[in-house]
Structure 1
């Protein structure tokens, strides 16, 4: 099989490529240049896609004896990931750029180009597993090492994309084993720190980064009844669940801290309230996709049992989900995923991604359009 190995410059993608070579595939390495002005060096574990990462990817390919290329996807990355991130925050939502990158860059743009060039599959260093059912249909499952499992950020993959996806680290019991293998193979990235945070905000200051790109204006902070309790410098700089930095002028009647419950960019308001109201019971999702063939219940109108996960490293919780057809105006309609949680989740924000599971299998995902506590009606805020 002809395989294109996506080489980030990290240890996981290097070992994944090495295992693809060992499996007898015809492997070519490619590093994605996602910035027109990449930094020269990484800052510890912050950031990625630097010149240093590109060189590390090249060294790994040299050790493995496979061809190496750099593909410029910077314009597509800016449009589909960075600009989307800014637009989502401007709309008062909290996006997950890693989901968008996997959806639109690594398993859309990259895979499309790979197939056009005659490759059979794209290989990455993600910790996830693809399994074929009795009929040969592919399903996405959690990796053997649940602590490193990355099936959540791959929940956007479609049935067609799974046909061309290769995850050689699927059965690896621990990250330590991957590093030991890299050391044995003579790969210089064996002890390179994992990258984290948002790759295009390497200093981790998301608020400061957004303030340079979204027009901020002072507005009101109100409590859950609509009473003004303070001022803010710009609603877009806040996230649901935030406690610090509110600088409220009026304390809560019970003296307890208040948290951000909702952001209303059109009104330029931030709604705050007690911690208890961060616990949400019902999620509504849009932009739905299915990882593999969808469950039959999904289109029958029946509710189905599942587990739902709303963050990459969060524990999944039990839920009942169903599809609802919602009129969106001008005679058009769209599907909405309604998820009722068996136990409430804390501090879920619109814009986050919810991924549905059954056992280890990823069923699909949706972007959260609303997350509400059944104990509080947001309409009470005027």
Structure 2
């Protein structure tokens, strides 16, 4: 229970279905992780109090679990390292993977509980023909969160519940208001919880000052598609693939960041066509069915969280790698982002974009 309306209503629905429920909130970090004067948009002390208030109203126990060390090791540090290595990571995926899934599932086993339930907008179903659990898109397409849960395994799905998967957001808020929840109209978090001002560069420099001084923030050349130097960048960690504004180069045709050469400390730029790609290579690939073996299959893929799926052929390779061959060229995702494959509404799996 994050303290938000979604997990609160999920708890309400589970009680209505006859489950014995205990609310748990993860304590992920202290305020010293944030710059002075800033507060997190989620996971704050106020959020914990909101979760407790909902549990008191529902008459169920509530516990706060200390996951600060795990959050630092599995989310914050890899986020910073990824940026310093020239990538653009999505820390929410690691948070779901290692804390909301692996971390809470471990606590579930220790406590002897049957399920971990969350307020994610996704659905699960058991496929009798294949004998496997499926992760499905939510009924509310605008709120669907299946993209960030592609790391789920069969064991995870067998022990998870997603009560909101068949509801729309307006229905969730209505249920919260009808039950006088303190967070019925609470705004949703839009930022990375540990960087509420969105200034990734400043955060990385504060959190990993020695590493940031050595790499990621040293000035270097901006190079175009012909290999010509076009100017100076202010540190590769300040840019991301696909960026147009803030490059600082006057050119008749707008230039975009198309890549980063970390070894040479070069920022690569080109007109928009330079962003198009028909193949994307992935690492750390997960197949939800558990049936991972080298093979090719047709699918639709999401190259980013908000993008509509596009047609592709996915070739699973050795070492948990994959090659995604797109039917039509697309603006390629930045290294460090995720690509997720679907068979209609079911998530097949996904992986991290390689450099």
Tell me which interval the TM-score lies in, with the shorter structure as reference length.
Answer: over 0.9
Q: CA deviation at 1:79?
A: 0.6
Instruction: Note if 1:81 corresponds to 2:75.
Output: yes
SS in structure 1 opposite 2:176? Answer: helix
Contact 1:142 1:150 in 2 (8 A): yes
State the Cα deviation string for residues 87-139 of structure 1 (Å, max 9, x = none): 11111111111100011111001111111110111010000000001154211
Contact 1:162 1:292 in 2 (8 A): no
Query: Which residue in 1 is equivalent to 2:141?
Result: 146
Instruction: Note if 1:345 corresponds to 2:330.
Output: yes
Instruction: Note if 1:286 corresponds to 2:286.
Output: no
Instruction: Note if 1:170 corresponds to 2:170.
Output: no
Q: CA deviation at 1:210?
A: 2.7
Contact 1:114 1:121 in 2 (8 A): yes
Instruction: Note if 1:323 corresponds to 2:316.
Output: yes
SS in structure 1 opposite 2:21? Answer: strand
Q: CA deviation at 1:196?
A: 1.3
In the superposition, the TM-score normalised over structure 1's length comes to: 0.87
Q: CA deviation at 1:300?
A: 5.1
What runs of 5+ residues in structure 1 fail to find an aligned partner?
1-6, 326-333, 371-382
Query: Which residue in 2 is equivalent to 1:241?
Result: 242
How do 1:196-215 and structure 2 match up within 5 A? 196-212=190-206, 213=208, 214-215=212-213
| RMSD between aligned residues | 1.8
Instruction: Note if 1:357 corresponds to 2:352.
Output: no
CA distance in 1, matches of 2:23, 2:348: 30
Deviating beyond 4 angstroms after TM superposition, the runs of 4 or more aligned structure 1 residues are 38-43
CA distance in 2, matches of 1:25, 1:368: 40
Q: CA deviation at 1:211?
A: 3.7
CA distance in 2, matches of 1:130, 1:323: 24
CA distance in 2, matches of 1:37, 1:197: 16
Q: CA deviation at 1:311?
A: 1.7
Instruction: Note if 1:272 corresponds to 2:266.
Output: no
State the Cα deviation string for residues 116-168 of structure 1 (Å, max 9, x = none): 11011101000000000115421100011111100111111111111111100
Deviates more, 1:346-355 or 1:201-210: 201-210
Query: Which residue in 2 is equivalent to 1:259?
Result: 256
Instruction: Note if 1:307 corresponds to 2:315.
Output: no
CA distance in 1, matches of 2:144, 2:16: 23
Q: CA deviation at 1:357?
A: 0.3
In the superposition, the TM-score normalised over structure 2's length comes to: 0.93
CA distance in 1, matches of 2:289, 2:294: 18
CA distance in 2, matches of 1:300, 1:111: 29
Q: CA deviation at 1:261?
A: 0.3
